[in-house]
């Protein structure tokens, strides 16, 4: 796809898609959305990038290695947040009781550690999406 | 017949060449046997207090301490079972490189078993040896040796020693001797365990081990026919084992206990279930005992095994089948001691007994009938084993049928177990020796061997006289007791047993005829040329045979010894009427005119049959195949299987054509039922496997619909 | 009339059932592997629809706290949350099976189940 | 602290799986040793948990302290702990073996991936056992399915792809059926927590029978597919035979059992004995178990590929377990549990020993086993022990399970089942014995028998010997295990 319009528009639109994804991730607990939805958006933006600019260029931006680290890191973030709960109150994934801030209903900071968990999920989902897509089109499966 | 495998490649170990007339090994092993015999005699006589030997031993402090320690050792059964296993380890460690040291280990291992068995005798005379090991195999296993078990142990261990002495020489010409002796040891251990079992679970455990270990003995020759025979043997053994297992579950479930104690009080209330249990047990043990409808493995397995193995298979292992029947019947189906004769609890025993008598009679008839047709010596002996097992089973049947008056049948069965073990293993040994020297086992091709093998001919004559039941030899004693038994069955019981007695006599005559035939064809007649070069020599083979022959004659001359030492104590602990036992068993006179006359009739009939048979070539008569048992039983099944294949595929089967043709064979000799079944499974697989795999979601749909509809319908009902 | 009422009341359940059967029918009757995957997806959608439909409350509002309307009836958010997980699972299964189909196409040269079965059974006979 | 152990077990496995890709550059033995360490840690903690559960009783663990109506809850009782201990122990043995033989058909760069999958597999299995939530079970089940299918297709061969695809298709149908059942239960109870659902089901049985009935049907069928109960076994032989030997052992000995445990959980804890008896599910189970026991063996007889044969044998053995469940009695359940243990040991031993033969001699055809016993004595000896166990010879675990099942059948008044049991045992003998006979008693066809004893790594031999020893040891002294299993069966109600 060597169409200049598509390339330019893609360049233009991808940051916004990703920004919206981040917004969705961070506001997952106060409005519809969350880690999965936002992560999927970010992942889709990368898929779009691959579609437009080709696999090679995409690999430079988001290499296999990076995605592997991101995938593991996403879950590890989630798990280590959960471990805080074990250390402090004796239950995995404890939220407010473990000392996370509780704000006003409706505000971003009201969910304790939920936004942080969502960040972890978002990273994981986004990287998984792009990895799946890459492996499928490379036919380098399993 | 244990054909020696691959010329020149025999037991590939150096063994010391014997010097002089007797080899040193022969002398050593003969001394061991002599020691064992003397020790047995002295010990038994001593414990019975006949010659004051015991008080002599008691006077010496050290001996007394050792004696007291040994006879009160509670774990004697475990020691006895462990000895052969130790021997196996010993021969694997030390005996790998020399035939002589290996066989010495084996012989001493057997000797020690005899000695330790003897130490149980004082305890057995009092209340028996009992040992329970809880938590093994979930329910716990237990050992218990009473007089019946002790009798079996004595005959087993003595015979085993002699066969091991014999095997040393014989196995020099076979391959894989080490493997043979290893599995011999395991089998021995299992046999001892079976005899000493105190409950059905233990019995079953050792019985199964024996089946699998002795399989290796049957298949030892590793030829096509031994594989066939082994295949037959192992699968029938497994079926028998499963039958016992089911019976065991039923018993445990209904009685709640597997120990050999009377269960008739509970069983009596069960209705048909109690007959199922005993039926399964008789079926399961009967397979091993070679009982008539399920004997088919026996004439195949015994001839192909090496001679020591077939001597033990025929001498000991099939007895364990009879022993099993006797044990379960007399423990579970007998009321407690002191139950009066007219008590209704005997009714079950009565019914079971009458069935077993007829099974025994049929077995006797089938065995002799087929034995007369055989030309292969070992095969003929195998059929005779079946027939003699029929005698024993009949004796057991009488023991059950007559209730508290069945002591005669019981005594006969036990006595015949002992006798048959002796003469049948001796006969197999003779066949082995003949084969050892000539390489031939077809009796029509042999002849005149008495000149070359005089001792073998003598012992063969003794054994033949024994099995034919000629007075002064041991067979006469047990056969006349059994004859008394069947006459009593007729007298006290149903009139139909009159015919059983007639069959009994005719079959005894058949036995006589076939042994006249054996002796005549093998040892008399003119000798074929190729056997002129045989040199007579004396070695272990002759030691073992001579000892057994001497025992046979001893029992024949002195019948009361076995009776009073081994059998009467058993009868006294059974719920038999003690009055009857005292009058008829203890006071039994052998060699009465009546018995002798019966025997004379039998012998004359036997000669008649022999002369008649040779004149009209009746012994070469091959009965048509379609009359044979296997054909009759399996024909319907084969028909079903053949047609099932047709049904599945029609005419065009994509399966391997050669195999498919085998399936369609009409002759069952070329392809067994199990093979057919396997081929059918293959065809079935080719036909349906792929199709099933393809229709995965369809199966799901059908199943889920089916289940939902089923549940709805059942709920609506 | 009542029948029609009931029909309309339970239209989402009936729809789910119909989808399930359609999906199953696709899986059973088609031998094209990709079509079978699509059938599975349709079945999955049916189950998800059913699950989500359970949580629906007639006249309910999305379960987001709204200070202006304190006594609003919320629909049950739990089924939707659960189904989100379910969707993720089915997505991964679908991706995986599609990649397998690619592999099968490379090695067997076909994505028709009948032909594959024929080939494998021929392999086995040899 | 002990109450934290279940979640720590799960996290250890998950963490191990996540760490492996980060170690890509390091030497591979580091990964395997670390993995072994993790397994041992979990093993020890499982033992501690078992002791705790037996002495102190079962306990619940709420993730994030959320209420059980909303959050995920773990239930740690004898049942879950005992079986997690079983799984971990067996996997340790197989794991040690696999460090010698992961190579079978797996490319070298895939090793890391294989162990990632293995640890996720363990994570999912333990999760299934611990969780007290129907939906959570579904999620773990799907994780298990995906990792299983990845393990099956990790060998890049064409039969692996078809086998894996077949597995995915059927298992996905099964999962969706299960989820549909969960939805139906959620509809009437409003919960997914097993205990709350169970209460709701008991009280709602008279009001919504159609819902519950359909739910039972769909859930049993769905899990039946995953557990390879007879008419749904079709995916199993291919999947288990094409996977690498060590993973075939895990799949056949452990993974399938986990699905059966889910089925037990659902039947006994969610619906309860009364309801399943009212809808005659035991009858259905007994019938399909009996057919499966016979047909699985008949299919196994016809196989020439030894691993496919073992796969079909698993189908038959699963029939034994389902039969135990179908009796719906304490004895039956206990017998089924025991057979889960004994079949796990025996099938693992069989697959591993056959794997050693394949590793060393590169033969898979049953007809080529002539004389293998002389070249690979240890492997074939263990094979023989396990095969005799399958037949039900005393001194092996197989005999005890047969005895238990038979007594349970009598207790349930189903004498027909004993006949099925015996026939199936006989059919087992029909295909296991010829292999043993030809391995030990026949000479190799193409070459004179050479006494070339096996040269396979010690890491493969030791697990084999341990498995063989365990089969005999538990066959000799099953009492302790049986009493533990009884406690496990009691903890279900």
Residue B426 in contact with residue B552, Cβ under 8 Å?
Answer: yes
Yes or no: say if B425 and B314 are a contact pair by the CB < 8 Å rule. Answer: yes
* pLDDT confidence of residue D447: 56
CB D391 within 8 A of CB D428: yes
Please tell me what DSSP assigns to residue B672: -
Torsion angle defined by CA atoms of residues A3, A8, A14 and A15, in that order, rounded to the nearest 10 degrees: 170
Q: Under a CB-based contact definition with an 8 Å cutoff, are residues A11 and A48 in contact?
A: no
Contact B711, D334 (CB under 8 A): no
CA–CA dist B44, B51 (Å, integer)? 10
Burial D436-448 (b: 16+ CB within 10 A, else e): bbbbbbbebeeee
Contact (CB, 8 A) for B288 and B324: yes
pLDDT of residue D18: 85
Highest mean pLDDT among B87-91, C88-92, D92-96: D92-96
Residue D293's nearest CA partner among D320, D268, D267 is D320
Mean pLDDT of the region A24-44: 87
The minimal CB distance from C117 to the residues B654, B694, B700 is found for B694
Q: Are B272 and B261 in contact (CB under 8 A)?
A: no
Does residue B283 have a pLDDT over 90? yes
Domain boundaries, chain D: 280-493
All residues of chain A having their beta carbon less than 8 Å from the beta carbon of residue D7 are 86, 92
Q: What is the mean pLDDT of residues B182-198?
A: 93
Confirm or reject contact between B685 and chain C (CB < 8 A).
Answer: no
Contact flag for B and C (3+ C-beta pairs < 8 Å):
yes
Using N-to-C axis directions, what is the helix angle for B377-401 and B318-332, rounded to 10°? 10
Please give the pLDDT value at position B15: 47
pLDDT at B5: 40
- C-alpha span between B118 and B67 (Å, rounded): 11
User: Which three-class secondary structure state does DSSP give residue B258?
Assistant: coil
Half-sphere exposure of B247 (CA within 13 A, CB side): 29
D68 or B652: which leads in pLDDT: D68
Structure confidence at residue B14 (pLDDT)? 46
C 54-93: CB under 8 A from D: 54, 78-79, 82, 85-86, 89-90, 92-93
pLDDT at D466: 94
CA distances from A55 to A10, A50, A83, A136 (A): 15, 5, 38, 11
pLDDT in tens, D242-256: 888 888 899 999 999
Residue with tokens 């040690």: D96
Q: Which residues pair with B197 in a beta bridge?
A: B143
Is residue B575 pLDDT above 80, yes or no? yes
- D183 and C96 within 8 Å at the Cβ level: the answer is no
Q: Which of D168, D175, D192 faces C100 most closely, judged by CB atoms?
A: D168
Contact D418, D348 (CB under 8 A): no
* Smallest CA–CA distance from A107 into chain C, residue: C65
- Collect all residues from A whose CB is shorter than 8 A from any CB in D: 68-69, 72, 75-76, 79, 82-83, 85-86, 89-95, 97, 142
CA distance B672 to B680: 12
CB under 8 Å to B69, separation ≥6 — which residues? none
List CB contacts of B633: < 8 A, sequence separation 6 or more.
Answer: B293
Residue labelled with tokens 């029939």: D319
Whether C40 has its CB under 8 Å from any CB of chain D: the answer is yes
Please give the Cα distance from B577 to D118 (Å, whole number): 72
On whether any CB of chain B is under 8 Å from the CB of C93, the answer is no
Kindly provide the b/e burial profile for residues B551-579, where b requires at least 16 CB atoms within 10 angstroms of the residue's own CB. bbbebbeebeebbebbbbbbbbebbbbbe
Looking up tokens 């130490």 gives B119
C-alpha torsion D169→D171→D173→D178, nearest 10: -170
Domain boundaries, chain B: 24-615, 633-716
pLDDT, tens only, A107-119:
777 777 888 888 9
Q: What percent of chain B has pLDDT over 70?
A: 92
Q: Note whether A60 and D33 are within 8 A (CB).
A: no
Please tell me the distance from the alpha carbon of residue D302 to that of residue B684, in angstroms, as a whole number: 8
Residues 6+ apart with CB under 8 A from B65: none
φ, ψ for residue B636 (rounded to 5)?
-60, -40
pLDDT score of B73:
83
CA C94 to chain CA centroid, nearest Å: 11
Instruction: Give bridge partners of residue B143 from the DSSP assignment.
Output: B131, B197
How close does chain B come to D402, measured CA to CA in Å?
9
The alpha helices in B171-317, defined as continuous H runs, are 177-196, 200-218, 224-255, 264-267, 272-289, 298-304, 307-312
Burial code (b: 16+ CB inside 10 Å, e: under 16) for B412-429 equals: bbbbbbbbbbbbbbbbbb
Instruction: Please list every residue in chain B whose beta carbon sits closer than 8 Å to the beta carbon of residue D312.
Output: none
Q: Which residue of D has its CA nearest to A113?
A: D64
Alpha carbon D391 to chain centroid distance?
19
> pLDDT-based confidence at B4, cuts 50/70/90?
very low
Mutate to test the interface with A, among D60, D65, D113 (most CBs of A within 10 A): D65
- What pLDDT digit, counting tens, does each position of D178-198 carry? 999 999 999 888 888 999 999
By C-alpha distance, which of D264, D238, D259, D81 is closest to D169?
Answer: D238
Residue B10's pLDDT band (cuts 50, 70, 90)? very low
**pLDDT score, position B9:** 40
Cα pseudo-dihedral D200, D206, D212, D213, rounded to 10: 160
Selection from B109, B155, B104 nearest residue B567 by Cα: B155
Report helix, strand or coil for D455. coil
Kindly state the helix (H) or strand (E) to which residue D75 belongs, with its residue range. strand D73-76
Kindly give, in sequence order, each residue whose CB lies less than 8 Å from that of residue B556, ignoring residues fewer than 6 positions away: B466, B471, B472, B473, B474, B475, B476, B477
Using pLDDT thresholds of 50, 70 and 90, give the confidence band for residue C1.
Answer: low
Q: Where does the pLDDT of residue B630 fall: very low under 50, low under 70, confident under 90, or very high at 90 and above?
A: low
B-contacting chains (≥3 CB pairs under 8 Å): C, D
Residues 6+ apart with CB under 8 A from B683: B645, B648, B649, B653, B655, B660, B663
Average pLDDT over residues B578-599: 84
pLDDT in tens, B24-57: 778 888 888 889 888 888 888 888 777 777 777 7
- Touching C (3+ Cβ pairs <8 A), the chains are A, B, D
- C-alpha span between C124 and C116 (Å, rounded): 12
Average pLDDT estimate for B556-584: 86
Burial pattern B64-98, b for ≥16 Cβ within 10 A else e, equals eeebeebbebeebbebbbebbeebbebbeeebeee
SS3 B131: strand
Q: Which residues of C touch A (CB under 8 A)?
A: 62, 64-65, 67, 84, 88, 95, 98-100, 102-103, 106
End-to-end CA distance of chain D: 27
Searching chain D, which residue's CA lies closest to the CA of residue A81?
Answer: D64
CB-CB under 8 Å, A89 with D63: no
Q: Whole-angstrom Cα distance, residue B572 to residue D319?
A: 50
Residue B455, token pair as written in the block: 């001792």
DSSP C70-114: TTPPBPPHHHHHHHHHHHHHHHHHHHHHHHHHHHHHHHHS--BHH
| Residue D59 backbone phi and psi in degrees, to 5 | -145, 160
Looking at the DSSP bridge assignments, the partners of residue B133 are: B141
> How buried is D47 (Cβ within 10 angstroms: 0-12 exposed, 13-18 middle, 19+ buried)?
middle
Instruction: Report the residue of D217, D274, D391 to disrupt the B interface, i.e. the one with the largest count of B CBs within 10 Å.
Output: D217
Q: For A95, name the nearest residue in chain D, comparing CA atoms only.
A: D64
Q: Give the ipTM.
A: 0.91
B451 close contact with C: CB closer than 8 A: no
How do strand B129-133 and strand B141-145 relate by DSSP bridges? antiparallel
CB C81 within 8 A of CB D214: no
Domains and CATH numbers, chain C: 2-125 (1.10.287.3510)
C36 contacts on B by Cβ (under 8 Å): 697
C59: left (phi over 0), alpha (psi -120 to 50) or beta: left
Chain A CB contacts of C103 under 8 Å are: 141-142
Q: Give CA–CA dist D240/D318, Å, rounded.
A: 14
Contact residues for B274 (Cβ-Cβ < 8 A; gap 6+): B267, B268, B333, B348
**What angle do helix axes B474-492 and B593-615 make, rounded to 10 degrees?**
110
One DSSP character per residue, B376-430 reads BHHHHHHHHHHHHHHHHHHHHHHHHHTGGGTHHHHHHHHHHHHHHHHHHHHHHHH
Query: With pLDDT > 70 as the criterion, what percentage of chain D qualifies?
Result: 97
Contact C122, D176 (CB under 8 A): no
Residue B6 has pLDDT above 60, yes or no: no
Ramachandran region of residue D293, left (φ > 0), alpha (ψ -120 to 50) or beta? alpha
């Amino acid at each position: 796809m060597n169409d200049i319009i598509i390339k330019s528009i893609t360049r233009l639109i991808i940051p916004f898609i990703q920004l919206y994804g981040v917004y969705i991730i961070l506001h997952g607990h106060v409005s519809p959305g969350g880690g999965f939805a936002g992560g999927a958006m970010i992942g889709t933006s990368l898929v779009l990038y691959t579609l437009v600019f080709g696999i090679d260029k995409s690999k430079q931006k988001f290499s296999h290695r990076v995605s592997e680290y991101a995938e593991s890191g996403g879950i590890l973030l989630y798990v280590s947040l959960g471990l805080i709960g074990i250390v402090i109150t004796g239950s995995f994934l404890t939220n407010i009781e473990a000392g996370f801030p509780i704000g006003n209903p409706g505000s971003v900071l009201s969910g304790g550690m939920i936004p942080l968990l969502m960040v972890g999920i978002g990273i994981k989902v986004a990287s998984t999406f792009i990895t799946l897509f890459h492996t499928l089109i490379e036919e380098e499966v399993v | 017949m244990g054909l020696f495998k691959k010329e020149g490649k025999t037991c590939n170990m150096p063994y010391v060449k014997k010097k002089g007339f007797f080899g040193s090994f022969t002398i050593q092993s003969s001394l061991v046997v002599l020691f064992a015999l003397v020790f047995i005699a002295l010990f038994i006589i001593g414990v019975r207090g006949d010659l004051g030997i015991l008080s002599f031993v008691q006077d010496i402090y050290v001996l007394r301490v050792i004696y007291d320690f040994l006879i009160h050792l509670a774990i004697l059964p475990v020691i006895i079972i462990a000895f052969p296993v130790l021997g196996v380890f010993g021969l694997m460690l030390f005996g790998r490189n020399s035939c002589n040291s290996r066989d010495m280990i084996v012989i001493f291992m057997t000797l020690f078993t005899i000695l330790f068995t003897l130490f149980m005798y004082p305890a057995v005379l009092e209340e028996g040896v009992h040992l329970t090991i809880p938590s093994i195999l979930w329910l716990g296993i237990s050992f218990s040796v009473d007089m019946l078990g002790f009798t079996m142990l004595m005959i087993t261990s003595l015979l085993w020693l002699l066969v091991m002495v014999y095997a040393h020489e014989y196995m020099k010409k076979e391959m894989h001797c080490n493997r043979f002796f290893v599995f011999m040891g395991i089998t021995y251990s299992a046999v001892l365990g079976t005899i000493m079992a105190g409950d059905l679970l233990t019995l079953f455990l050792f019985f199964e081990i024996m089946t699998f270990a002795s399989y290796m003995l049957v298949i030892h020759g590793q030829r096509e026919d031994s594989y066939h025979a082994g295949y037959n043997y192992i699968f029938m053994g497994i079926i028998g084992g499963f039958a016992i297992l089911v019976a065991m579950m039923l018993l445990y479930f209904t009685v709640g206990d597997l120990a050999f104690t009377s269960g008739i009080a509970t069983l009596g209330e069960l209705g048909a279930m109690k007959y199922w249990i005993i039926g399964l047990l008789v079926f399961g043990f009967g397979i091993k005992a070679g009982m008539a409808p399920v004997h088919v493995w026996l004439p195949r397995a015994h001839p192909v095994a090496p001679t020591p193995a077939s001597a033990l298979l025929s001498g000991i292992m099939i007895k364990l089948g009879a022993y099993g029947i006797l044990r379960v019947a007399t423990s579970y189906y007998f009321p407690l001691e002191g139950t009066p004769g007219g008590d209704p609890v005997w009714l079950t025993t009565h019914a079971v007994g009458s069935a077993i008598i007829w099974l025994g009679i049929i077995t006797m008839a089938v065995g002799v009938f087929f034995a007369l047709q055989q030309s292969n010596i070992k095969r003929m002996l195998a059929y005779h084993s079946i027939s003699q097992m029929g005698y024993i089973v009949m004796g057991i049947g009488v023991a059950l049928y007559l209730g508290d008056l069945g002591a005669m049948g019981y005594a006969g069965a036990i006595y015949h177990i002992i006798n048959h073990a002796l003469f049948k293993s001796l006969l197999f040994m003779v066949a082995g020796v003949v084969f050892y020297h000539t390489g031939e086992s077809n009796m029509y091709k042999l002849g005149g061997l008495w000149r070359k093998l005089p001792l073998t001919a003598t012992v063969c004559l003794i054994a033949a006289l024994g099995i034919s039941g000629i007075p002064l030899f041991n067979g006469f004693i047990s056969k006349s007791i059994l004859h008394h038994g069947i006459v009593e069955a007729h007298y006290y019981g149903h009139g139909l047993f009159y015919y059983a007695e007639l069959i009994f006599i005719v079959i005894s005559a058949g036995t006589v005829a076939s042994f006249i035939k054996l002796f005549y064809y093998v040892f008399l007649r003119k000798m074929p040329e190729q056997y002129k070069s045989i040199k007579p020599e004396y070695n272990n083979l002759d030691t073992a045979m001579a000892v057994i022959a001497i025992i046979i004659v001893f029992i024949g001359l002195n019948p009361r010894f076995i009776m009073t030492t081994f059998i009467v104590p058993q009868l006294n602990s059974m719920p038999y009427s003690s009055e009857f036992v005292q009058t008829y068993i203890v006071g039994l006179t052998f060699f009465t005119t009546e018995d002798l006359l019966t025997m004379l009739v039998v012998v004359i009939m036997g000669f008649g049959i022999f002369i008649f048979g040779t004149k009209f070539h009746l012994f070469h008569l091959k009965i048509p195949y379609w009359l044979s048992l296997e054909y009759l039983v399996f024909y319907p099944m084969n028909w079903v299987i053949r047609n099932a294949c047709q049904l599945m595929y029609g005419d065009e089967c994509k399966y391997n054509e050669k195999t498919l043709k085998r399936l369609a064979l009409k002759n069952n000799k070329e392809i067994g039922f199990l093979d057919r079944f396997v081929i059918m499974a293959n065809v079935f697989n080719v036909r349906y496997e792929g199709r099933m795999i393809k229709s995965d979601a369809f199966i799901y749909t059908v199943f889920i619909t089916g289940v939902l509809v089923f549940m709805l319908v059942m709920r609506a009902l | 009339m009542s029948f029609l009422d009931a029909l309309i009341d339970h239209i989402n359940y009936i729809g789910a059932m119909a989808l399930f059967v359609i999906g199953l029918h696709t899986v059973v009757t088609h031998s094209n592997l990709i079509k079978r995957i699509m059938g599975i997806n349709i079945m999955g959608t049916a189950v998800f629809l059913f699950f989500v439909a359970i949580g629906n409350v007639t006249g309910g509002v999305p379960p987001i706290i709204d200070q202006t309307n304190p006594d609003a009836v919320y629909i049950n958010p739990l089924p939707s949350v659960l189904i989100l997980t379910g969707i993720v699972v089915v997505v991964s299964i679908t991706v995986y099976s599609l990649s397998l189909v690619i592999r099968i196409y490379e090695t067997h040269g076909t994505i028709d189940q009948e032909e594959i079965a024929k080939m494998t059974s021929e392999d086995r006979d040899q | 602290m002990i109450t934290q152990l279940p979640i720590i077990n799960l996290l250890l496995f998950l963490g191990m799986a996540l760490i492996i890709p980060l170690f890509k550059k390091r030497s591979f033995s580091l990964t395997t040793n670390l993995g072994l360490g993790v397994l041992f840690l979990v093993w020890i903690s499982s033992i501690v948990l078992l002791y705790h559960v037996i002495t102190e009783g079962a306990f619940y663990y709420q993730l994030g302290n959320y209420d059980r109506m909303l959050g995920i809850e773990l239930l740690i009782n004898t049942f879950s702990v005992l079986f997690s201990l079983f799984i971990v122990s067996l996997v340790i043995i197989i794991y040690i073996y696999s460090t010698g033989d992961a190579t079978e058909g797996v490319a070298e760069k895939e090793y890391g991936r294989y162990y990632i999958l293995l640890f996720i597999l363990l994570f999912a299995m333990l999760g299934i056992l611990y969780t007290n939530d129907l939906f959570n079970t579904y999620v773990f089940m799907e994780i298990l399915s995906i990792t299983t299918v990845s393990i099956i297709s990790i060998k890049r061969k064409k039969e692996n792809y078809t086998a894996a695809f077949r597995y995915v298709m059927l298992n996905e149908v099964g999962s969706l059926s299960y989820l549909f059942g969960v939805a139906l239960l959620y509809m009437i109870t409003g919960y997914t927590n097993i205990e709350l659902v169970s209460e709701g089901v008991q009280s709602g049985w008279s009001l919504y029978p159609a819902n519950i009935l359909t739910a039972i049907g769909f859930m049993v069928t769905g899990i039946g597919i995953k557990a390879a109960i007879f008419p749904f076994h079709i995916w199993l032989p291919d999947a288990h035979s094409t996977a690498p030997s060590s993973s075939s052992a895990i799949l056949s000995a452990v993974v399938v059992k986990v699905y059966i445990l889910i089925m037990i959980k659902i039947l006994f804890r969610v619906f309860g004995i009364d309801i399943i008896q009212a809808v005659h599910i035991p009858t259905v189970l007994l019938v399909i178990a009996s057919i499966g026991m016979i047909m699985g063996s008949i299919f196994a007889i016809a196989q020439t590929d030894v691993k496919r044969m073992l796969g079909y044998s698993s189908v038959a053995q699963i029939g034994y377990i389902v039969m135990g469940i179908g009796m719906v009695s304490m004895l039956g359940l206990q017998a089924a549990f025991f057979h889960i243990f004994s079949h796990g040991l025996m099938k693992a031993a069989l697959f591993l020993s056959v794997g050693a033969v394949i590793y060393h001699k590169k033969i898979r055809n049953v007809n080529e086993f002539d004389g293998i016993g002389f070249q690979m004595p240890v492997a074939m000896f263990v094979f023989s022990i396990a095969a005799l166990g399958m037949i039900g010879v005393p001194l092996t675990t197989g005999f005890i399970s047969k005895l238990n099942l038979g007594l349970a059948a009598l207790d349930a008044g189903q004498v027909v089942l004993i006949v099925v049991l015996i026939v199936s045992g006989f059919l087992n003998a029909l295909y296991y014995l010829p292999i043993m006979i030809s391995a030990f008693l026949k000479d190799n066809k193409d070459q004179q028998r050479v006494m070339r004893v096996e040269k396979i790594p010690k890491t493969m031999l030791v697990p084999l010997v341990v498995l063989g020893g365990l089969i005999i040891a538990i066959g000799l002294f099953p009492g302790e295990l049986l009493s533990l299993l009884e406690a496990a069966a009691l903890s279900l109600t």
